[in-house]
Chains A and B, each alone.
Chain A
């Protein structure tokens, strides 16, 4: 084997899966049958959560996000605690633990205590199917995409529990909004994923990455519409800013989090970031080639490529959070049902036709590049055409106020020839 290819030797640090595999093999010899599976499960959770998710939450999710948003808002961000403010997330956590966790007298105490705990569990489960490297996937189950989509909709239940348990009208508003939003956004999200699945003919995440590696193209180029739908749907489900209507601070105070304080709130806050990182990891795996980078993975540890990509994807979430205003709930629903769902269906038709052509004509694999070109053009045309068909007319929006020189009465719009229609 060439020196710079991933080997199956345990000392090859470019894939830590070999090391853990070796370790588990040794343990299997020593321990009675079956015990090693329990150890493997524990090892997987500890490795993925303590080594990747928790530091990411703290230093990318809390520190990085606050720092970046600070720079977007032309201020410094955290810079007091530790060097460059790096210890800020730890200080935050200590502060949250010290705070009193208030419970309103009229609240449903059991539900209110349970909700943050139930909120944490699915986040841990999500990382089980994410491939960090060629052998670094904890559970390479053949239906990983379905598993991920299913588990990622559990937190909706807990947010509803949280909103309901407070006996607070703002919380109830937030909870109702979450449920309505998730029902709307699961559909286009799943339909968009279906396009990807039709292309790769697999539901596994590792096999999706391997397909992209083999074809030497990322699915984002083959499925730009599905990627857009995934990004919008994910940010809607994650309550990130353009669609953070469930905890809309300026409208309903904090939505389902209104009555939470202390570490109960902290769990929600931390796990929101955890889910965002999970969504970023999923998006990277499915659309951006996972741990591959057009051959670079032979030299650089694949898990580093994967983590770098995940953080870059997460940056998109931070960026939209820092710049965009919030949609209203009815506008968001209209967008899901009238815009994203038809677009997702159209995407499915395009993909099915292309796949059919590919199989029936027994075309060469390089035809995917032609498909990519067609799909990018089709995506732009579909988005533009469908939004025009729905009545999107940006040229009719006035950009500046009208100017008059003399004080007087009412000035009709057409008096100056520039109408708002």
Chain B
């Protein structure tokens, strides 16, 4: 602010206890009136030393830990980890196991995007309505997870060499019913928000990220695709037989919060398509190969990446032929996506910063690990 009225900036702590930080996360912003002149991220409130803990447990015992990094996408995290261990130990997965993994990962993407879209609209101030609608559909996906794995949030379903259990008999009809209802629900949310002038005013042109900045910050997932870069691990480096499925990569226009929102909505539609195809062509046979419980992979290292709901989710495992990993590292997508926060918030208002944070779709459990 310039002119006759002189004002001086003051520091405002957004978080760690704040309704919109989606966990315990803090942004130290310096504001001049409503405008942000500087932003600093403070992380680590939820640090649980997962990477260190994993070095003390066997490879199979580590699977439940991966549930708890990104607790909104436990299936994807399980998948990333078991893929890394399979790569390290050279274990193959039967076709049915791969198909079930794809179904679960895509259902998880739908559930996670429901949460992302709902929380994001909540941050723009739509008082709980879209978030409740999203929760309503997310519950149905979680019901499917409960049916299969016994847990709703931390599923612990993937195993090295396949999945823990075969699909129950009632899974397929329930999933088909959900898949029939989901497009209508996505249209409903789109109808509620995409044509809404207030929503457009709040999100269009907010948190702009050019394609160049997005690549420089090594962003991934809907953040990167919102900036107009067609990049998806499922297409670029297929795993679990994703090359067999017909789907498209949604990309945005100018890289603002609104683009990320419509990209997420479209990704849910594509996920519905993938699950449909996987169910139609579900192969028979075993769902898992036999893997010894005390797995001792040959010495070496492996990095496996999957396209998680939030972006490139990578697991890096090093073995020294012991029963537990010598080094275990996670590449959490929301941690890296969050690194561009300062670029997006400085110059905007406090209200914009909240919208930007919502559009990144962070999960603090994954950022702090």
List chain A positions with a Cβ less than 8 A from chain B: 69, 72-75, 169-170, 173, 241-242, 244-245, 248-253, 321-331, 394, 397-413, 419-420
Which residues of chain A are near B136, meaning CB under 8 Å? 74
- Contact partner of A248 (CB less than 8 A), chosen from B12, B128, B249, B351, is B351
A328 touches B201 (CB 8 A): yes
Looking at the complex, which one of A72, A253, A326, A394 makes contact with B198 (CB distance below 8 Å)? A326
Q: How far is the CB of B116 from chain A (nearest CB, A)?
A: 14
Task: Report chain B residues within 8 Å CB of A321.
Answer: 127
Are B194 and A399 closer than 8 Å at their CB atoms? Answer: yes
- Chain B, interface size category, equals 35 or more
A328 lies within 8 A of B232 (CB): no
B235 pairs with A406, CB closer than 8 A: yes
B194 engages A401 (CB within 8 Å): no
The docked-state distance in angstroms from the alpha carbon of A394 to that of B225 is 23
Measured between beta carbons, the chain A residues less than 8 angstroms from B12 are 169-170, 173
Is A74 in contact with B202, judged by CB distance below 8 angstroms? no
A325 touches B198 (CB 8 A): yes
- Residues B125 and A244 in contact, CB atoms below 8 Å apart: yes
**With known contacts A328-B201, A402-B252, A410–B351 Cβ distance under 8 A:** no
- The listed residue (B133, B211, B250) touching A401 by CB distance below 8 A is B250
Query: A residues within 8 A CB of B211?
Result: 410
Contacts of A73 in B (CB 8 A): 128-129, 132-133
B165 at the interface (CB under 8 A from A): no
Taking A69-B127, A330-B34, A413-B228 as given, write out 12 further A-B residue pairs in contact, using a Cβ cutoff of 8 Å, ordered by the A residue number: A69-B128, A74-B133, A173-B12, A244-B125, A249-B19, A250-B122, A321-B127, A327-B201, A329-B34, A329-B349, A401-B251, A407-B236
8 A-B pairs with CB atoms under 8 Å apart are A74-B136, A244-B125, A249-B19, A252-B350, A327-B125, A407-B236, A410-B228, A411-B230
CA distance A330 to B348 in the complex (A): 11
Tell me, yes or no, whether B70 is within 8 Å of chain A by CB.
no
Q: Is the Cβ of A253 less than 8 Å from the Cβ of B230?
A: no
Contacts of A329 in B (CB 8 A): 34, 349, 351
Q: Find B266's partner among A244, A401, A411, A413 (CB 8 Å cutoff).
A: A401
How far is A420 from B192 in the complex, measured between Cα atoms in Å?
20
| Residues in A whose Cβ lies below 8 Å from that of B350 | 173, 251-252
Asked if B84 is an interface residue, CB under 8 A from chain A, the answer is no
Query: Would A253 and B128 count as touching, CB distance under 8 A?
Result: no
Surface stretch bound by A, among B54-62, B176-184, B257-265: B257-265
- Asked if A326 and B259 make an inter-chain contact with CB atoms under 8 angstroms apart, the answer reads no
Contact between chains at B198 and A403 (CB < 8 Å): no
1/0 per residue B318-331: CB within 8 Å of A? Answer: 00000000000000
* Nearest B residue (CB) for A403: B248
Given the known interface contacts A74-B132, A326-B125, the answer about A403 and B266 at a Cβ–Cβ threshold of 8 Å is yes
Candidates A241, A394, A403, A409; contact of B125 at CB < 8 Å: A241
B34 to A403, Cβ gap below 8 A?
Answer: no
Contact A250 B125 (CB under 8 A): yes
List 5 A-B pairs, minimum CB-CB distance, nearest first.
Answer: A326-B125, A401-B250, A407-B235, A73-B132, A420-B253
Within 8 A of A (CB), among B5-35: 10, 12, 18-20, 34
CB nearest to A406 among chain B residues: B235
In the complex the two chains form, is B354's CB within 8 Å of A251's CB?
A: yes
**Closest CB in chain A relative to B5 CB, distance in Å:** 13
Least CB separation from B235: chain A residue: A407
Instruction: Report if A324-B126 is in contact (Cβ < 8 Å); known contacts: A252-B350, A405-B248, A420-B254.
Output: yes
CB distance from A353 to the nearest CB of B (A): 31
A242 to B202, CA, bound (A): 11
Minimum CB–CB distance from B192 to chain A (whole Å) comes to: 7
Contact B19 A405 (CB under 8 A): no
Say whether A401 contacts B132, CB under 8 Å: no
List the B side residues contacting A244 at CB < 8 Å: 125, 127
Pick from B201, B231, B232, B351 the residue with the most CB of A within 10 Å: B351
A406–B121 touching, CB < 8 Å: no
Complex Cα–Cα for A75 and B124 (A): 21
State whether B228 touches A326 (Cβ < 8 A): no
- A402 and B253: CB pair below 8 A? yes
Interchain CB contact under 8 A, A325 and B235: no
A323 to B125, CA, bound (A): 10
Which of chain B's residues have a CB closer than 8 A to the CB of A328?
201-202, 349, 351-352
Q: Confirm or deny: B48 has a beta carbon within 8 angstroms of a beta carbon on chain A.
A: no
Give chain B nearest CB distance to A350 CB in angstroms: 25
Interface residues of B in 27-50 (CB under 8 A from A): 34
CB distance from A265 to the nearest CB of B (A): 16
A233 to B283, CA, bound (A): 62
What chain B residues lie within 8 Å of A413 (beta carbons)? 228, 253-254
Asked whether, in the complex, the Cβ of A402 is within 8 Å of the Cβ of B250, the reply is yes
Residues of A within 8 A of B125 (CB): 241, 244-245, 248-251, 325-327
**Taking the complex as formed, is B204 at the interface, i.e. its CB lies under 8 A from any CB of chain A?**
yes
> B262 to chain A: which residues have CB within 8 Å?
398-401
Cα A400 to Cα B195 in complex, Å, equals 11
B199 at the interface (CB under 8 A from A): yes
Q: Does B2 contact A (CB under 8 A)?
A: no
- A404 and B251 in contact (CB under 8 A), knowing A250-B354, A326-B198, A410-B229? yes
**B196 CB within 8 Å of chain A:** yes
Does B200 interact with chain A (Cβ within 8 Å)? yes
Q: Let me know if B129 and A402 touch, CB within 8 A.
A: no
Q: Are A75 and B253 in contact (CB under 8 A)?
A: no
Asked whether any CB of chain A lies closer than 8 Å to the CB of B301, the reply is no
With a cutoff of 8 Å between Cβ atoms, the chain B residues found around residue A250 in the complex are 19-20, 122-125, 354
Which residues does chain B contribute within 8 Å of A403, judged by CB atoms?
248-251, 266
Task: Pick the residue among B129, B197, B202, B231 that contacts A326 (CB under 8 A).
Answer: B202
- B129:A398 contact, CB within 8 angstroms: no
Say whether, besides A75-B132, A252-B350, A331-B201, A325 and B251 are in contact (CB < 8 Å). Answer: no
Q: Is the CB of A323 within 8 A of B126?
A: yes
Inter-subunit contact B349/A411 (CB<8 Å): no
Contact A330 B127 (CB under 8 A): no
**Complex-state Cα separation, A413 to B349, whole angstroms:** 27
| Residue from B19, B126, B232, B263 in contact with A407 in the complex, judged by beta carbons closer than 8 Å | B232
Which of A169, A324, A325 sits near B10, CB closer than 8 Å? A169
CB–CB A404/B126 < 8 A: no
- B249 and A405 contacting across the interface, CB-CB below 8 Å: yes
Cα A328 to Cα B200 with chains together (Å): 11
Question: Within the assembled complex, what's the spacing in Å between the Cα atoms of A363 and B136?
Answer: 60
**Cα distance, A73 to B122, chains bound together (Å):** 13
Q: Which residues of A contact B236 (CB under 8 A)?
A: 407
Cβ of A407 and Cβ of B18 under 8 Å apart? no
Q: Which one of B121, B194, B195, B230 lies within 8 Å of A409 (CB-CB)?
A: B230
Chain B 159-200 per-residue mask, 1 if CB under 8 angstroms from chain A, else 0: 000000000000000000000000000000010111111111
